Amino acid sequence: MKTALIQFTAGEDPAANLETVRQMVRDAARSGAAFVLTPEVSNILSSSRRHQQAVLYHEADDPFLAAMREDAAALGLWLLIGSLALKTGDSDGRFANRSFLISPEGEIMAHYDKIHMFDVEIDETETYRESAAYRPGTQAVVADTQFGKIGLTICYDMRFPHLFRKLAKAGATIITAPAAFSPVTGKAHWQSLLRARAIENGVFILAPAQCGQNGPTRATHGHSLVVSPWGEVLADGGDAPGITMVDLDLADVGRSRRRVPSLDHDREFEGP
Ligand SMILES: O=C(O)CNC(=O)[C@H](CS)NC(=O)CCC(=O)C(=O)O
């Protein structure tokens, strides 16, 4: 299955981000991709909640989502919008960080709200408080497609192996992990986390990532990653914007799981 991961640098203007993504989706389609994935918060990366409040939409009238549905249908491909920041109507004004899987008919086949919030102080200069702006999801999601079952996660979720375990146990053979990873933790952890999640569950991991300088106070790690169920890095998108194409052999899932069937070897135990 020809799969394309879109890597770019989202800024504060959703319309500009949409133009960038649309062009790259078209390029990916021209290269023969059947499944195209975009990073976390493809529509906006902003550190100002006020600005987000001013320019974001609810799901029902979001122009980014509408355009992606049109493009998926026009180009006849599966599309994962890694996520969109969307208004929720919640009284506390928090947004959703929501991933969408769209069919080649332009239908929304699944959506997933990021469960784990990145509330972290990495060092004196770098702190994140995602839960101040975003309302965490409470529902894990697996979608049925012609390529098999796809489990949806977002970014920081990759540090919670039990979520990936649940998705794999529910039949997922591909797990998506779109990201806007921090450069510091990216260097230290990104590839190890994703390879571990692939190996321990015998799944393909598809992780389209934001890259570069997103704003005066925000940068992202890049290195969009495709990992095989055996843990091999099949592609790494590097530091710069671009499209990473890979041809997935879905039979690798069965081959890996037969060699090491650890997914079937979970045991109940007492303690500690
Ligand atoms: O801020 C937004 O608008 C959208 N959300 C994000 O970019 C989120 C929260 S700041 N980024 C991550 O989860 C990175 C996780 C990470 O870097 C790690 O786990 O080390």
Interface predicted TM-score (ipTM) of this complex, two decimals: 0.94
Q: How many CA atoms within 13 Å lie on the side-chain side of 204?
A: 24
Residue nearest ligand 1's atom 11 by CA:
180
Q: Are 87 and 58 in contact (CB under 8 A)?
A: yes
| 172 has pLDDT over 90 | yes
Q: Which amino acid residue places its CA nearest to atom 7 of ligand 1?
A: 180
Query: To test the ligand 1 pocket, which listed residue (87, 95, 130, 211) has its Cβ within 8 A of the most ligand atoms?
Result: 130
Taking the CA of residue 46 as reference, the ligand 1 atom at the shortest distance is: 3
Look at the alpha carbons of 134, 140, 142, 143 in this order and tell me if their dihedral is positive or negative. Answer: negative
Confirm whether pTM is higher than 0.90: yes
pLDDT at 124 over 90: no
269 Cα to the center of ligand 1, angstroms: 34
Kindly give the distance from the C-alpha atom of residue 117 to the centroid of ligand 1, in angstroms, as a whole number.
8
Cα angle vertex 164, ends 58, 188, to 5°? 90
Question: Rounded to the nearest whole angstrom, what is the distance from the C-alpha of residue 116 to the centroid of ligand 1?
Answer: 10
CATH 3.20.20.370 fits 2-259, yes or no: no
Q: Where are the domains of the chain?
A: 2-259
Helix (H) or strand (E) holding 152: strand 148-152
Q: Work out the burial of residue 189: count CB atoms within 10 Å of its CB; fewer than 13 is exposed, 13-18 middle, 19 or more buried.
A: middle
pLDDT in tens, 67-101: 999 999 999 999 999 999 999 999 999 999 999 99
Q: How much is the pLDDT for 125?
A: 83
Mean pLDDT across the chain: 97
Which residue shows structure tokens 């960038």?
20
